Amino acid sequence: MFRLDGKVVVVTGGARGQGAAEVAALREAGATVIATDVLAGDGVRHLDVRDPDGWASLAASLDRVDALINNAGVAGRERLPNVDLANWDRTFAINVTGPMLGIQALVPLMPAGSSIVNVCSVAAVSGHVAAAYTASKWALRGLTRTASLELGPRGIRVNAVLPGLIETPLMANASPAFRGAALAEIPLGRTGTVDDVAGLMVFLVSDAAAYITGAEIVVDGGLTGHVSHKGIADAIAPPA
């Protein structure tokens, strides 16, 4: 049901971490995957998602695209009011403008039934102290909604995946204080793995998701399922 044989999928940020896991899962399901990144990697095509010419070159090299996964992203962790403008602009250029350019470049190659998945974050549904990152992911969520509206008549589905704390290179750079405090808020009691996200990508690209568009699917172990009340709930919980 989730086989992707014959489908051509473009994945940005595919050289490592969550993107690499998505590439592997999509290929295992039968897709032909074009993995792109600014980082070098085995079988990875160089693409800076901020570069319109790079996107145009990629599009010119393909006859058809059945799915685009906008996975590339950076974490702008500076807190207000101490946000550097250059870092703010870079975060938005990669996290928001990049996906928009990808949609512009590849939609003309997409037949009805195609799928676009934008990788947002749980930061896109609440307030987080990383100002640029949070604002950019809210913007990407908005782009997803608009794209689902505009591209629906073409038969192209557009959805957002909102990962929580996933063990990736981005998470590896988080401080121990952040990790400890955040972990205490996750009902499942663990951080996620890249495979927790990759399987969802296979589903959203597959024909099994043919009537799902404009959706925002969280993969967060329950982090956004409460309003920071987990500590209270734990304190008054009856003995196991």
Residue with structure tokens 């399901």?
Answer: 29
DSSP SS3 for 66: coil
List the helix and strand counts (H, then E) for the chain.
9, 7
Write down the catalytic residue from 91, 133, 156, 191.
Answer: 133
**Is the distance from CB of 163 to CB of 122 less than 8 angstroms?**
yes
133 assigned to active site: yes
Q: Tell me the sheet residues that pair with 70.
A: 118
Separation CA 10–CA 191 (nearest Å):
27
**Is the distance from CB of 89 to CB of 74 less than 8 angstroms?**
no
Separation CA 149–CA 76 (nearest Å):
29
Separation CA 191–CA 171 (nearest Å):
10
DSSP tag of 79: P
CA distances, 96 to each of 59, 107, 129, 226 (Å) = 19, 17, 19, 27
List, in order, residues 6 or more apart from 130 with CB less than 8 Å away: 75, 76, 77, 78, 79, 123
DSSP tag of 211: T
Among all residues, which ones are annotated catalytic?
133
